[in-house]
Amino acid sequence: MTDSLRRFFDSDIWHKFKRDPLVITAVVVGLILILSSAFAPLFAPHSPFDLKTLNLSDAFTPPAWIHEGKSQFMLGTDDQGRDVLSTIMYGSRASLVVGFAAVLLSMIVGITLGLISGYFGGALDAFIMRVADVQLSFPAILIALLISGVARVVIPNSQHDQVAIYVLIFAIAASGWVQYARTVRGSTLVERNKEYVQAARVIGRRPLAIMFSHVLPNVLGPVMVLATLHIGTAIITEATLSYLGVGMPATQPTLGTMIRIGGDFLLSGEWWILWFPGTALVILVLSINIIGDWLRDAINPKLR
Amino acid sequence: MLAFIARRLLQSILVMLTVGFIAFSLFNFVGDPVALMLPPEATQADRDEVRKSLGLDKPFYTQFAVFVQNALQGNFGISLRLGRPVSQLLAERLPATLELVGVATLLALLVGIPAGIYTALKRDHWSSKLLLTGSLVGVSLPNFLIGIFLIVIFAVWLGVLPSFGRGNTTQLGFWSTGFLTVSGLKAVILPAVTLGFFPVTLIMRLVRSEMLEVLRTDYIKFARARGLSNQAVHFGHALKNTLVPVITITGLQLGGLIAFAIITETVFQWPGMGLLFIQAVQFADIPVMAAYLCLIGFIFVTINLIVDTLYYVVDPRLRMETSSAGGH
């Protein structure tokens, strides 16, 4: 363990990282946001899910530094009297869970299909790639919308709120697997003919073992870059779906849900309900994208 | 040439059949199709009639054939939420969406191309770097937030532009246009800027990288050696050669914009197809969802086909490649 740590601190990537203030800032800001939402129950001043502590007479309290603000609601409250700061912490938790889970799921599906497609080739490859082509010609958001729309019909109304998070994860994952499949397939096609794969084949390892324990580690680099950038996209997609009213219900707010609620009160002057979750979303996505962009350049051998 | 078009046409039909099949599955397996086709107050006799006319007793592939036949005639049943034929609803909403997408595309070209040229020619100037960084930030912003920011600035603070709706429209035959009234023109500005934001950055980056690449080629050096003015080199020779990929990407983006308009139309309550679709998703209005899917699929496939064919006509190198590569 210490050995691999030392190797990491000796690596190119670490040295590049130390010299890039932008990406260091992005990592620090991203970590602060992720940790404060992961430990929201410890840090958040209020619990937006505890109905006992909610008081409708607190609704629409402006941020603390404004004349009518109250000191216990630093960023004000929303229409139901929920503390905006706490709801942002809990809300970005839900956004992050959906984002990470969706990326993980589409990675697993995409990598598996890409490996199969690239390693075996033939009719299976042609079929998987045609499906990918058809899907790629539609924007991801439309596919995610359709899936959540169908889920709304299939799942009885009473269970909508409980399964909403799983539907969201599935919808976002289903719209994102193609990129992984294509990337992995391309690299697999190259790796398949290399000597180490042929050697493994000669000593009689099974195709599945070759694919996952020999080929996969060698195609993982570009996949990690894709995944980092995909987390940002997935969080945006989640926010968009929730904003459009087909994502998470208002009782389990995510950043997108909060923005939708805030949008209703924008014209009447209660700007903080929308403004703070919006800013949190932008900062979160921006820091993830900066890290992803940097990672892409850092591990690209052409730019060394 | 003909073989190429025929093969692409065949591919397009296959894609359309796949999309149609998904729509058909939505229609027939998700929810009760008989209930979908009829208003809730229909009698049992009506139900039997529809069941028979839908051919639900027939085998699966016959049902699909009937669905395709109906779809080709624009018959997608009746909207559950609004109780009117889906095709009629979509036809009413189509002009609004197309006008919005058209203005957004025009904006993307009129801003994106000059910005791309500028950042390529003055690549080390601070203003180009600012433009590029700005576009990266813009891409990181969710589209609906851009719309909301614009509403805050121009509708709430400045109060110069409307925050929702389409303004007054004029009916020209079946087409309702917002271009002929002042309120209609004012109403389209904010939604079009919102929708055009992403394509502007895309086209700017594309023109920039293409220009930089072309400017390094030998024929540009040769043109300079001939003593042509900068203007003639940049616009007469370099720009012309960057336009083919720009046209392709713009064409391909057009379909994406129509689908992406769902978000913009929701933010601005723009009465287009996207708003109709999102309401259909919220209310589980399957016929509208199925029809919208088919329509978007059709638009996508048609645009792809046209762009591919144009590309083939414009770029002779492709003609050599397709004989060995077998499509892409």
pLDDT at A92 over 70: yes
Q: By the 8 A CB rule, do A50 and A68 touch?
A: no
Q: Is B143 near chain A, with CB under 8 Å? A: yes
**pLDDT tens string A28-42:** 988 888 888 888 777
CA distances from B289 to A298, B31, B35, B283 (A): 43, 13, 16, 10
Residue B164's closest chain A neighbor by CA? A267
* CB–CB contact B262 A142 (8 Å): yes
3-class secondary-structure state, position B32: coil
Taking alpha carbons only, the member of B205, B202, B188, B200 closest to residue B264 is B188
Q: By the 8 A CB rule, do B178 and B268 touch?
A: no
Q: How many CB pairs under 8 A join A and B?
A: 98
pLDDT at A119 over 60: yes
Q: Is A217 near chain B, with CB under 8 Å? A: no
Greatest Cα-to-Cα distance within chain A, rounded to the nearest angstrom = 78
Residue numbers in B near A286 (CB within 8 A)? 137, 140
Question: Would you tell me which residues 169-228 of chain B have a C-beta closer than 8 angstroms to some C-beta of chain A?
Answer: none
Greatest Cα-to-Cα distance within chain B, rounded to the nearest angstrom = 85
Q: Is A245 near chain B, with CB under 8 Å? A: yes
User: Taken in order B280, B283, B286, B287, is the CA torsion positive or negative?
Assistant: negative
Q: Is A149 near chain B, with CB under 8 Å? A: yes
**pLDDT tens string A155-199:** 777 777 778 888 889 989 988 899 899 989 988 888 888 888 888
Topology classification of domain B89-282 = MetI-like fold (1.10.3720)
* CB–CB contact A152 B136 (8 Å): no
* CB–CB contact B30 A154 (8 Å): yes
Topology classification of domain A60-303 = MetI-like fold (1.10.3720)
| The pLDDT value given to residue B296 | 86
Residue numbers in B near A255 (CB within 8 A)? none
pTM score of the predicted model: 0.81
More confident residue, A243 or B77: A243
| The pLDDT value given to residue B310 | 77
| The pLDDT value given to residue B35 | 65
| The pLDDT value given to residue A100 | 92
Taking alpha carbons only, the member of B277, B296, B298 closest to residue B287 is B277
pLDDT at B178 over 60: yes
| The pLDDT value given to residue A110 | 93
E strand or H helix at B304, and its extent? helix B286-314
3-class secondary-structure state, position A102: helix
Output the six-digit token pair for A43. 């840090």
The residue type found at B121 is L
3-class secondary-structure state, position B78: strand
Residue A130's closest chain B neighbor by CA? B15
CA angle B221, B226, B232 (to 5 degrees): 80
* CB–CB contact A139 B260 (8 Å): yes
Q: Is B282 near chain A, with CB under 8 Å? A: yes
Residue numbers in B near A279 (CB within 8 A)? none
Residue A266's closest chain B neighbor by CA? B152
Q: In this predicted complex, what is the ipTM?
A: 0.77
Q: By the 8 A CB rule, do B174 and B91 touch?
A: yes
* CB–CB contact B278 A239 (8 Å): no
**pLDDT tens string A252-267:** 788 888 888 887 777 7
* CB–CB contact A278 B143 (8 Å): no
Residue numbers in A near B255 (CB within 8 A)? 137
Banded pLDDT at B325 (limits 50, 70, 90): very low
| The pLDDT value given to residue A107 | 94
* CB–CB contact B278 A236 (8 Å): no
Output the six-digit token pair for A172. 């976002």
Taking alpha carbons only, the member of B82, B81, B80 closest to residue B37 is B80
| The pLDDT value given to residue A106 | 94
* CB–CB contact A153 B145 (8 Å): no
φ/ψ region of A155 (left if φ > 0, alpha if ψ in -120 to 50, else beta) reads beta
**pLDDT tens string B126-171:** 888 888 878 777 777 888 888 888 888 888 888 888 878 787 777 7
pLDDT at B52 over 60: yes
Ordered by start, the domain boundaries in chain A are 60-303
Ordered by start, the domain boundaries in chain B are 1-80+284-328, 89-282
Q: Rounded to a whole number, what is the distance in Å from the CA of A267 to chain B's nearest CA?
A: 7
Banded pLDDT at A94 (limits 50, 70, 90): confident
For residue B170, list its beta bridge partners.
Answer: B177
pLDDT at A304 over 70: no
Q: By the 8 A CB rule, do B192 and B103 touch?
A: yes
Which of A37-51, A287-301, B7-21 is modeled with the greatest confidence?
B7-21
pLDDT at B327 over 50: no
Mean per-residue pLDDT of chain B: 80
Q: How many CB atoms sit inside 10 A of residue A126's CB? A: 11
- Judged by average pLDDT, the poorest of A37-51, A103-117, B268-282 is A37-51
More confident residue, B127 or B63: B127
pLDDT at B324 over 50: no
Percentage of residues in chain A with pLDDT exceeding 70? Answer: 89
Residue numbers in A near B145 (CB within 8 A)? 259, 278, 281-282
Sorted by sequence, the CB contacts under 8 Å of residue A8 that are 6+ apart come out as A14
Q: By the 8 A CB rule, do B238 and B144 touch?
A: no
What would the mean pLDDT of B180-200 be, rounded to a whole number?
Answer: 86
